[in-house]
Amino acid sequence: MGIFKNIFGGSSEPKEEKILPWIALNSMEQLDAIMEQSKTKTQLIFKHSIRCGISSMVINQFKAQYDVDTNADLYYLDLLRYRDVSNEVGYKFQVMHQSPQLLVIRNGVAVAHASHGAINDMDLNQYV
């Protein structure tokens, strides 16, 4: 067992998971509020599919690198559970649906968006 621990970097100490300031996005009414709030503060929407391995990998990478001091509201959308909200996000912000996907909302519009691995390449500091 020791050899596998050394090869795969196993540790007997549990890793402390970073807690992000997620706001659950689960209603259409919240989209209007996001548009309004984006006039004074950047709004981020992370669309995630809990059944997709790629989406899970990307969200874990996003969590690891996200700066919790970023001056933006961070929304989490479970797009399988709230399919109607996910569809409305695409319509309201004129962005084709992808999963996973991150939208940056400023002044009522999506000023940037990315999907899959490109999410973690985004420099969010330029939008806050």
pLDDT 10s digits, 106-121: 999 999 999 998 999 9
- Lowest model confidence (mean pLDDT) among 10-19, 58-67, 83-92: 10-19
15-19, 31-35, 52-56, 124-128: which range is least confident on average?
15-19
89 Cα distance to chain centroid = 13
Amino acid in the structure at residue 75: Y
Domains and CATH numbers, the chain: 19-127 (3.40.30.10)
* Dist. CA 119–CA 30, nearest whole Å: 23
Hey, is 103 helix, strand or coil? Answer: strand
pLDDT digits (tens, 9 = 90+) for 70-85: 999 999 999 999 999 9
* Tokens matching residue 119: 């999410």
User: Token pair for residue 32?
Assistant: 């209007």
